[in-house]
Amino acid sequence: GAGVSQSPSNKVTEKGKDVELRCDPISGHTALYWYRQRLGQGLEFLIYFQGNSAPDKSGLPSDRFSAERTGESVSTLTIQRTQQEDSAVYLCASSLVSGLRENGYTFGSGTRLTVV
Amino acid sequence: DAKTTQPPSMDCAEGRAANLPCNHSTISGNEYVYWYRQIHSQGPQYIIHGLKNNETNEMASLIITEDRKSSTLILPHATLRDTAVYYCIVRANDMRFGAGTRLTVKP
């Protein structure tokens, strides 16, 4: 597609339920990031995928959070047993990394998650 | 650890140049400097990036000091729509954002 697509755009869930957020990167983009942004705060790095390399999971806040990506396609971020502090906008970004030439990242519009 | 330091906020008069500084004193030789901005309620938007030469595009100019320890993003004629949080990022294998600079363009 023309841009990074995230779904759903909004999600309201009950505390304790599991949620799955989806990111469709720009076709051919090898790098994919997930970020979390709580209301009024900055972007918090969660996880980074680069091609077939092992993902950098160092930003995941707890073992309730996990993410998967198959090859260079869709990624899903799963939050198990959601808590109210998980309420935030979850942003996905992708980029084409080609050799030494660094390209900018394109962000999706995010998924606004509200845990009630 | 975002590896960059930016002032938390700045004001600029509409029509004037906005000069946003960023310190990145621990930058490595192969790390690029990226600038993004985030307008309220939207996803971050790429502005410009550079390695050591100054760069210019339709949105902004990027001035990188010779020692690469700091840079300045220049919006030559700021408009009200440029009001946003501006992030300076040193790219390594991941892209971690700091708190950025909240730029307010005033009429």
3-state secondary structure chain B: CCCCECCCEEEEECCCCEEEEEECCCCCCCCEEEEEEECCCCCCEEEEEECCCCEECCCCEEEECCCCCEEEEEECCCCHHHCEEEEEEEECCCCCCCCCEEEEEEC
pLDDT digit string (tens) for B20-63? Answer: 999 999 888 888 898 999 998 788 888 999 999 899 999 999 99
Q: Please name every residue paired with B91 in a beta bridge, in sequence order, or none if there are none.
A: B32
Nearest residue of chain B to residue A92 (CA atoms): B43
Question: Looking at beta carbons, which residues of chain B come within 8 Å of A104?
Answer: 34, 36, 46, 49
Average pLDDT, chain A: 90
B96 with A45: Cβ contact below 8 A: yes
Indicate whether A41 pLDDT > 90: no
Per-residue model confidence (pLDDT) at position A100: 43
What mean pLDDT comes out for the span A46-60? 90
B32 with A102: Cβ contact below 8 A: yes
Per-residue model confidence (pLDDT) at position A109: 92
Least confident piece of the model among A86-90, B11-15, B26-30, B103-107: B26-30
- Residue given tokens 């950098």 in the structure block: A56
The C-alpha atoms of residue B58 and residue B56 are separated, in whole angstroms, by 7
Of residues B79 and B93, the one with the higher pLDDT is B79
Q: Are the CB atoms for A92 and A8 separated by under 8 Å?
A: no
Per-residue model confidence (pLDDT) at position B96: 77
Least confident piece of the model among A18-22, A90-94, B41-45: B41-45
User: Omega of the bond prior to A8 within 30 degrees of 0, cis?
Assistant: yes
By CB atoms closer than 10 A (0-12, 13-18, 19+), residue B104 is middle
By CB atoms closer than 10 A (0-12, 13-18, 19+), residue A63 is exposed
B49 with A102: Cβ contact below 8 A: yes
pLDDT digit string (tens) for A25-36? Answer: 999 888 899 999
Q: Are the CB atoms for A113 and A89 separated by under 8 Å?
A: yes
Q: Give the single-character DSSP code of A98.
A: B
Closest to B99 in 3D by CA, of B89, B91, B107: B89
The C-alpha atoms of residue B27 and residue A20 are separated, in whole angstroms, by 36
What mean pLDDT comes out for the span A59-86? 94
Q: For chain A, positions 35-74, list CB contacts with chain B under 8 A.
A: 35, 42-43, 45, 48, 50, 56, 58-59
A80 touching B (Cβ < 8 Å): no
